[in-house]
Structure 1
Amino acid sequence: SNNIDDLLDKATKQQEKQKQKPVTMSQLFSILKEQGQNWRDEHVKVLKNGEEKIQHIPPRTIADILKRYVIFAVIGKKEKDFEKANLAYYDLDAGIYKYNVTNIQKLIIAVERSTSIKQRRETMEYLRLEAQRKHPTESRNLIIVGNGVFNKNTKKLEPYNPRYIFTSKISTNYNPAAQEPNFKDWSLSEWFKDIAENDKEKETLLWQSLACAINPNLTPDVAIFLVDSGQGRTGKSTFERLLENLVGIDNHAPLKLKEFEEDFKLANAQGVKLIIGDDNNPNDYNKTSENFKRVATGENVLINPKGQPPFSTQFNCFIVQSMNGLPRFKDDSDALLRRIKIIKFNHQYNDKTANKDIKEKYIKDKRLLEWILSKVIIMDFDFMTDTEESRQEIKELKIANDP
């Protein structure tokens, strides 16, 4: 009876183990390795000559083991999206769903390190076909940041949770106690007043741009154009870099106005929260702005990535474009122009005050970014402020573009 007790004991221990919920990715990997080992131990084949032969775990079983411990999903907004959706897994450390194929293959190898490329593909196909279909979280009241999910309704930070379907996040941490740092000869709030030339509405628009960069669900349909007259040193590109630093390196993509109309360039900007187009040439004539309009309004856009079949998707991002001089559009319809707010950078800083530290240190400073985030994350507005300056510029733009 001892033997039976031992076996039962082992079985109970196994069940206990199976209930383990990994909290970090490294815990997940050790559990997967252990589960793979257990399976091989239990499935040793004894040959006629008494030798033992280790069995390799078949793809179907690898998929079953993975499904026990890893949260997989295919993410889309509607039926058609799921057909072409790639397999995503929930990254326990990052708190977001990732499409990283290499990482999914590493999970497979943790269970069975002898899998061939073909077996890994097969395992992934089982996982993809059986993964739960999930819709992306698009609530304007939930913002995923560097250290959790900020809930605007409760004004509190919640821990990451797989029930929220996010595929990217703002890299700055939310710190409610953050204060504005004062650098020796520069402060952000003073600088904004400078750019705004003491116009309260324009200052508000600058802050609103930061708020939309971290939460594109705030105001749909708006793109910001940063304009100066090409004299340089106006702080325009510093403002762009600040936006990029706030959202983080994985969360922004470069795309100029005319590149929106180029299929594979547009494909590269998929999944980011912020699109920044630097130094658009004012002499570029934008014959078509179809895609630009569609991305700005969150409509479906056909994407054509290199070497992959084309598919349609929606962007959920905030668009910022910078230029010296107003852009030229063939389309000067209200539908296009009312999507645009213009911020002019009229203030030229002379070389002495154009402090190199601003770009290289201050706007990268963690304290500054956390303070900005703590301010803009709680902002609420349905429309971006329409400044007198922006209205005038749009009028000019209409006249300039009217044949």
Structure 2
Amino acid sequence: MGKAVEFLNPDERAAIARGCFQVDPRSSNEKELRGLCPFHDDQNASFSYSPEKDAYNCLACGASGDLIKLWGHAQGKASPKEAFQAFCGQYKPQDQPAGDSVPTTEQMAAVWDQFPPLPPEMCSRLCRDRAWTEDGIKSLDLRLQTLRWNPKLGGFVDDRYKNRIAFAVRDDSGEIRNIRSYMPGAREFKLLSVAKGMGESRLWPHPSTLKDGPVWICEGEPDVICARSHGINAITQTTGALSWKKQFNLVFEGRDVVLAYDADGAGIRGADKAAASLSKVAASVRVLKWPDFMGRVDGAWPESGGQDLTDWFAKHRRSASELEELLGESPAIQRDPGRPESVERFFSGRSFQHAKLARELYRENPLIFDTKTKTLYRWNGKNWASISEMAIQQRAQALLQDESTMARISDATSQVAVMAAMPAEQELDNNPDLVPLENGMLSLSTAELLPHVKEHLNTYRLPVSFDPDAKCERWLQFLTETIQDAATIAVVQEWFGYCLTRDTSHEKAMFLIGPGSDGKSTFLHVIQELIGERNSSAVNMADMAKEHYRATLIGKLLNTASETEGAAFESDWFKAIVSGDKISASFKFKDVFDFSPYVKLMFANNRWPKVKDNSDGFYRRILPIKFKRQFKGKAIQKNLRAILIAELPGILLWALVGLERLRLQGGFTHSDDIHRTLVEYQFANNPVQAFVDEECLTQPEYDGQGLSVSKKGLYDRYRAYCTGYGFHPMNIVHFSRELLTILPHVKETRPGERGGSRQRHFDGVAHVDRGVI
């Protein structure tokens, strides 16, 4: 057994283990958790973990170890040492003093009398920042810690610099059994005790201080102080959320109880555990259901470190009356001493009622179902996020408990999708004027920041906030160092703004070209961070021909890929996606469907990608950006990416300026540098095609003009064209063959066919400034 046994009790170890692998509730119990092994592709639930023994084992792959090793694997830690340090940092009781010495009640009482009241300036700060009140502070007898218990010295020592908030934990006789102290905002040592560990778990403040009426049980002393400051009859236990003691139940016998634990996985499990125990004695028990804005992301709460009752008042500036309204949405668990939460409401006699379960699932979750893509979405407080059917099925399994079967779960899940189906005329992301950001919905037409509401039907948001005062000086310097050309940088600015929208009317993709070590990857990293991982995809050009790869473009704003040399790709799908044309796609093993993509395509290359298309329709869709400087040795700034990411709010403003200019101009800024780079790409892909597009007229453009040019004269023009761009020309034989392939209507005439002229000619083509040579 490892350090986890020293730090945590079996229930706490079990709770952490559940987050490290997929547990099968049907084959698990209090003594052993069974499920799918996280160390290999397990299909048969070969893995088990014992919270009592702190040991795991897989019968299939032979993996074994303790909780710290399992947790480190789940967290992606690179080494056992890193896993151990991270685990200790997160779960080791920081308030546990070294050694076994514990002060006596007489010592604690004596030192408590030396602690002065909290100074006025600290009280003012706590009232402002933590939403406490002076009455709440005085009623709980909060004091300023000036001494610290040192077990090695066997006494209290001077420690005035701590300036911590102290409170006494008393027993039924009024004697102090522990002194706890609190430091708001601390990352570690937030709560300290003079007793070993956190001392024996007790209720604080003493139950004798409770008033008549409902009792609110919070997770931690700071929340109780905040609650009592707002007139709420609150109490807590002095140990973790999962350590509810049955002895506490007697205090709440016949009373109405509200559990307001933290909005995270540990808090939810702790509240459920306490509720199950309290429901045997209390008149009623309610578990407060926090709204999504308290930290729920994509339908899920964080495992730890979630928001709490203090955040409700201090961070979100909500009131006690609003908290009471929220409580009204939390159904009471009526007293049922014989069993836990009943599943009888889903049955009529012996008959299972699928619709009742479906309605319960739909009532719990704000859901919509897109019938076009067969995708289920759940509101997370800021946007509609796609979820799998498995998430709904898991909740159905939890509600049915031992009565769950796959048939019942599947049928109810299907009914939920029908209930949540969007009307045929309704579309997601249907307002092109709104850009969803972390702190609201930005209107592009008015620059107004609107609140997040379900009715906007946005399925994404950018992971950046709108800050009208933000700057991005290092980003602008980076562009000057790498791209260098002012007009091209203007195009890049417009492109960033274009990527913020679902508009595809400008029909452009961006190709980044450079020799390597030139800033392309940093450039891609910045725009990926601006747009967000959830709003991006990474399909390369060749894979766009595959249906299930195209399906990953749904709802994405940006697709980036670093291309490697390979076979030439077909351009049909590329051109359709760039233009926002309706295309077909399918998820693996699902039906084919049609959708109109609005994703912007970006590719980074060290060499030009090969394409089986030399038409203007392909090249006019490309914005080729050349990176002109290589960074080597001391020129490399190792922390550059972090510096640029810190400027994302400023880069957002910069991109919005580019978007406004793009819309006013009706297109991207002209750049001679981009034009030269595009010609270079055309030449690299087909030099003769580039020459024809740039320098020649063809017969279909000038009906009846009799265009003709001498073979040698046109070839000389081709050679001059190549020399002007620094290209190496092919010989006249290969040139002629390629020209006739590109322009099949052109005919080569021989000597004698042109009235005695001995020079060979091409009929149907001419140099752009001559007509006839």
TM-score by length of 2: 0.42
Offset of 1:268 from its aligned partner? 3.4
Question: Matched residue of 2:613: which SS?
Answer: coil
For residues 364 and 552 of structure 2, the distance between their equivalents in structure 1, rounded to whole angstroms, comes to: 32
Aligned 8 A contact 2:518 2:630 in 1:
yes
Structure 2 residue 465 is matched with structure 1 residue 173: yes
Distance 1:208 1:161, change over 3 A: same
Corresponding residue for residue 74 of structure 1: 369
Q: How many angstroms apart in 1 are the aligned matches of 2:537 and 2:388?
A: 18
List runs of 5+ in structure 1 lacking aligned partners: 1-16, 42-52, 76-81
SS of 2:455 mapped into structure 1: coil
Which letter maps to 1:116?
Answer: T
Cα contact 2:504–2:579 (8 A) shared by 1: no
- Report the Cα offset of residue 244 of structure 1: 1.0
| Structure 1 CA distance for aligned equivalents of residues 376 and 632 of structure 2 | 52
Q: Structure 1 residues 120 and 36 mapped into 2: Cα distance closer, same or farther (>3 Å)?
A: farther
Post-superposition offset of 1:111: 5.4
**Does 2:585 match 1:303?**
yes
**TM-score relative to the length of structure 1:** 0.77
Give the number of aligned pairs. 354
Q: Aligned partners of 2:574 and 2:328: how far apart in 1? A: 45
Hey, what's the Cα distance between the residues in 2 that align with 1:351 and 1:219?
Answer: 43
- Higher deviation after alignment, 202-211 or 24-33: 24-33
Deviations 1:89-126 (CA, angstroms, capped at 9, x unpaired): 2222x422423334333554575555433223222212
Residue identity matched to 1:206: V
Structure 1 stretches of at least 4 aligned residues deviating more than 6 Å after TM superposition? 25-33
Residue 352 of structure 1 aligns to a residue whose secondary structure is helix
- Greater RCO structure (CA 8 Å; 6+ sep): 1
Deviation at 1:238, TM superposition (A): 1.0
CA distance in 2, matches of 1:339, 1:386: 14
1:161 and 1:354 mapped to 2: Cα distance?
44
Q: Which amino acid aligns with 1:149?
A: M
- Tell me which amino acid in the other structure corresponds to 2:561: G
In structure 1, the residue matched to 2:480 is: 193
Instruction: Tell me the distance in 1 between the aligned counterparts of 2:592 and 2:615.
Output: 29
Q: How does 1:134-145 map to 2 (within 5 A)?
A: 134-145=426-437
Q: Return the alpha-carbon distance in structure 1 between the equivalents of residues 631 and 493 of structure 2.
A: 21
> Which one of 355, 376, 385 corresponds to residue 655 of structure 2?
376
Which amino acid in 1 is paired with 2:384?
I
Residue 395 of structure 1: how far off its partner (Å):
2.9
Measured after TM superposition, the shift of residue 142 of structure 1 is: 0.4
| Larger gyration radius, structure 1 or structure 2 | 2
Superposed CA deviations along residues 19-57 of structure 1, whole A, max 9, x for unmatched, are: x9955478999989955958x99xxxxxxxxxxx96142
Separation in structure 1 between the aligned mates of residue 343 and residue 475 of structure 2, nearest angstrom: 65
Partner amino acid, structure 1, of 2:648: L
Tell me by how many angstroms 1:150 deviates: 0.9
Alignment of 1:247-286 (within 5 A): 247-281=531-565, 284-286=567-569
Matched-pair contact (CA < 8 Å) for 1:256–1:280? no
In 2: Cα distance, 1:260 partner to 1:218 partner: 17
CA deviation map 1:215-265 (0-9, x unaligned)? 24275421001111x2x2211111011111112222222222212123333
User: Do residues 319 (structure 1) and 601 (structure 2) align?
Assistant: yes
Residues 325 and 369 of structure 1, relative CA distance in 2, 3 Å threshold? same
Contact 1:91 1:98 survives alignment (8 Å): no
- Aligned pairs for 1:214-233 within 5 A: 214-217=500-503, 219-228=505-514, 230=515, 232-233=516-517
Q: In 2, distance between residues paired with 1:109 and 1:143?
A: 37
User: Which secondary structure does the structure 2 equivalent of 1:343 belong to?
Assistant: strand
Q: Which residue of 2 aligns with 1:86?
A: 375
After TM superposition, give the deviation of residue 338 of structure 1 in Å.
Answer: 1.2
| Structure 2 unpaired stretches of 5+ | 1-285, 301-325, 337-341, 347-352, 690-737, 739-773
Query: Which residue number in structure 2 is paired with residue 104 of structure 1?
Result: 392
Residue pair 1:178, 1:374 contacting (<8 A) in 2 also: yes
Match of 1:127 in 2: 416
Higher mean displacement: 167-176 or 388-397: 388-397
Residue 63 to residue 318, structure 1, CA distance change in 2 (3 Å): same
Aligned-partner residue type, residue 410 of structure 2: R
Instruction: Give the secondary-structure state (helix, strand or coil) at the position aligned to 2:446.
Output: coil
Q: Does residue 244 in structure 1 map to residue 552 in structure 2? A: no
**Are the equivalent residues in 2 in contact too, given 1:211–1:377 (CA < 8 A)?**
yes
Q: Tell me, what secondary structure is at the counterpart of 1:332?
A: coil
Give, in angstroms, the shift of residue 203 of structure 1: 1.2
Q: Say if 2:617 is the partner of 1:335.
A: yes
Partner of 1:61: 356
Q: Distance in 2 between matches of 1:173 and 1:273?
A: 17
Counterpart secondary structure, 1:246: helix
Paired-residue identity, %: 18
- Relative to structure 1, the CA distance from residue 324 to residue 112 in structure 2 (aligned partners, 3 Å threshold; closer, same or farther) is same
Match of 2:681 among 389, 393, 397: 397
Cα 1:291–1:255 change in 2 (3 A) is: same
1:5 matched to which residue of 2? none
Residues 37/310 of structure 1: CA separation in 2 closer, same or farther (3 Å cut): farther
1:211 aligns with 2:497: yes
Asked if structure 2 preserves the Cα contact closer than 8 Å seen for 1:32 and 1:111, the reply is: no
**Matched AA of 1:373:** L
1:6-17 matched pairs, under 5 angstroms: none
Cα offset, 1:194, TM superposition: 2.5
For 1:253 and 1:171, how far apart are their aligned partners in 2? 15
Would the alpha carbon gap of residues 56 and 251 (structure 1) be closer, same or farther in structure 2, given more than 3 Å must change?
Answer: same
